[in-house]
Amino acid sequence: MYSPDASGVIRRTGRIPDTIPGISRFHQSTLHQGRIERHLLDSIAKVSDMRIKVERPIMPESITLDESKVNDPDAYPVTVVLRYLSEDEATPTQFGHKVENGLFRSSLATAEEEDSMYRLPEGAEPGQIETVHAKYVIGCDGGHSWTRRQLGINMVGEQTDYIWGVIDVIPETDFPDVRGRCAIHSANSGSIMVIPREDDLVRFYIQLPETAAAGQRVDKTKFTSERIVEAARKIIAPYSFNVGRMDWFTAYHIGQRVAEKFSRDERIFIAGDACHTHSPKAGQGMNASMMDTWNLGWKLGLVLLGRADPSILKTYESERRPFAQDLIDFDHKLSRAFSAKPKAGQAGVEDGVDPEEFKRNFEIGNEFASGTIINYPASVLIAKEESAPKASRPEQLAKNIAVGKRFKSHQVTRHAEGVAVQIGDLLYMNGAFRIFLFAGDVTNPAQMERIFQFADYLDSENSVVSRYTPAGHKRDHAIEVITVHANNLEQVDMHDFPAPALYPAYDYKKIYADCPTYHDGCGNVYENYGIDPAVGCLVVVRPDGYVALVADIDDHAALDEYFGAFLKVPAQPVGRNTEPDWTFIAEEKKQRRLAAKSQQPKHAVQPIVPGPAKVGVTA
């Protein structure tokens, strides 16, 4: 953080961590959008076996929705007419010239690949018209979204007065913190944000001396790169500032707006900048936008596969729109603070920005950027139990796990290998829900008996696994069960757990321990999640990694109710698990269990009955 001292010269006034320590195992990092696009394109090619291609030089002409068919799952109610562009039309211009534009150019594509992105499919002619009939359409078409305008959805919000320039350059400067992310507030020349990038590049957001009246459209052509660099030079003085190489530049006028609606009849959706526009400085644009389609993607996937009821699509807007509104409100506050004059040391500037408050805002921005601030509201997909009496709330089983928030990653030990693994890495994003069985201290026979009863439930005809897994798939296809016990590797063996329910044959990735490792310490997951090892619990995690439900280990009915509300029973479910315990100590386990059953449980666990519709199963 740089602010002017008493004599008006900028000085470093403080440092804060770019990422709040402990908020995540990942740190904040700047990443070229082209790298993300590369990952997405490669992944699309791989997953679709090269069948799905991203076609660029094609524009929509019209979109219509046949409202009579929106409730028919087999119908294709959306009609889109597409027009194939000529090369001239397909190559965007910037400032009147055909300057390459960093916002859509991928730095990781070869020249041929880049050319091919703007070439028409083989045999297609410029001007050709194609009509597409679709079940669903998602418009991810940016701040000036054509889709949004076709749907007549309004943007709500306003525009700031300030105009900013952006340059991606290799700077020649003796400003010593140019390789750190910096906020520089000059006394009278405006502000700069410094964001170091790859390959010695640095992005500078530079406040320009010009302002625009509300509603006034800014003529961007007058903001040349020379004018932007000149503005930077004034702000960063007395340090030198020259440009070694300029990779890209632009100028923008901040608008902070949210779309009134995010879909039409849950058949045509808009996502990303089409739904919300804000200042680019907090790195929210790509993050918030990817989270939109991330939220929508798995829901659409399950609906299209016939595995979930289309009603879950309503949660896209109910989950993402409130978040977008919060983000815009915060951005409104932050960007005004950034463009305003600094307060510190400035005689006569009483309405300026307090550097301390500015720092606090930066920290909140961190929670937005990391997504940890998100708390989705109660819905068919988020089983919040706020109405239940406090003592019997399932959330009390895991005091630090909030239903509706991201399932935070902590380290566990993979029992079969003794190596440290992050729970986040167990959440393969393959459309499956996960039930984490926090089995607790299973050296207590009564607790282990509860685990065996849960396994009996899973293997039974009517468990959520047996009902919702289509025949022909592995039992972890739709709902994967992962066990995390609270013992160390000397106290309990994988063989001690019920097989095949929790320990399927030759599958070494289903059982984890909360215990120390040789090299990576201990994750202390029970402590971190606030779970009592004497009791344990179940945590249901959605395919996108958000916590959907916390329930008692014995509360099988809670699982039945949660999944029953939106999952569809397939034509042929996989049904009861008929495989026997495959481990060589199967007989020993049976004997131990019989002995345990004859004892009174040490921890008499009361089943939790959250509502009248649910029936607890007693241990």
Contact positions vs a copy of itself (CB under 8 A)? 15, 17-19, 21, 27, 170-174, 176-180, 196, 238-240, 244, 414, 416-418, 489-490, 493-495, 505-506, 508, 518-519, 582-584
3-state secondary structure of 128: coil
Roughly what angle, to the nearest 10 degrees, separates helices 314-339 and 355-370? Answer: 160
Looking at residue 377, the DSSP 8-state letter turns out to be P
Phi first, then psi: what are they for 151, rounded to 5°? Answer: -80, -10
Q: Whole-number minimum distance, CB 25 to a copy of itself, in Å? A: 10
Phi first, then psi: what are they for 171, rounded to 5°? Answer: -80, 150
Q: Whole-number minimum distance, CB 439 to a copy of itself, in Å? A: 17
Q: Whole-number minimum distance, CB 553 to a copy of itself, in Å? A: 24
Q: Say if residue 171 is preceded by a cis peptide, omega within 30 of 0.
A: no
If the CB atoms of residues 9 and 156 are measured against a copy of itself, the closer one turns out to be 9
If the CB atoms of residues 17 and 306 are measured against a copy of itself, the closer one turns out to be 17
Q: Whole-number minimum distance, CB 110 to a copy of itself, in Å? A: 15
| CA–CA dist 385, 210 (Å, integer) | 52
| CA–CA dist 613, 267 (Å, integer) | 33
If the CB atoms of residues 118 and 239 are measured against a copy of itself, the closer one turns out to be 239
| CA–CA dist 189, 234 (Å, integer) | 6
If the CB atoms of residues 164 and 503 are measured against a copy of itself, the closer one turns out to be 503
Contact 484, 436 (CB under 8 A): yes
3-state secondary structure of 84: strand
If the CB atoms of residues 23 and 312 are measured against a copy of itself, the closer one turns out to be 23
Looking at residue 94, the DSSP 8-state letter turns out to be B
If the CB atoms of residues 122 and 506 are measured against a copy of itself, the closer one turns out to be 506
Sign of CA dihedral 119, 124, 125, 128: negative
- Structure tokens that stand for 174 in this block: 């003796």
Q: Whole-number minimum distance, CB 417 to a copy of itself, in Å? A: 5
| CA–CA dist 596, 448 (Å, integer) | 9
- Structure tokens that stand for 269 in this block: 């959706």
If the CB atoms of residues 97 and 518 are measured against a copy of itself, the closer one turns out to be 518
If the CB atoms of residues 471 and 586 are measured against a copy of itself, the closer one turns out to be 586
Look-up: residue for tokens 């400003």? Answer: 175
Sign of CA dihedral 134, 37, 292, 247: negative
Q: Whole-number minimum distance, CB 480 to a copy of itself, in Å? A: 17
Q: Whole-number minimum distance, CB 462 to a copy of itself, in Å? A: 29
Phi first, then psi: what are they for 277, rounded to 5°? Answer: -125, 145
If the CB atoms of residues 27 and 222 are measured against a copy of itself, the closer one turns out to be 27
Sign of CA dihedral 320, 322, 324, 326: negative
If the CB atoms of residues 5 and 493 are measured against a copy of itself, the closer one turns out to be 493
Q: Whole-number minimum distance, CB 347 to a copy of itself, in Å? A: 26
Q: Whole-number minimum distance, CB 516 to a copy of itself, in Å? A: 11
Run of H or E including 10? strand 10-12
| CA–CA dist 196, 347 (Å, integer) | 33
Q: Whole-number minimum distance, CB 121 to a copy of itself, in Å? A: 27
| CA–CA dist 591, 319 (Å, integer) | 49
| CA–CA dist 586, 497 (Å, integer) | 10
If the CB atoms of residues 73 and 521 are measured against a copy of itself, the closer one turns out to be 521
| CA–CA dist 154, 150 (Å, integer) | 11
Q: Whole-number minimum distance, CB 176 to a copy of itself, in Å? A: 5
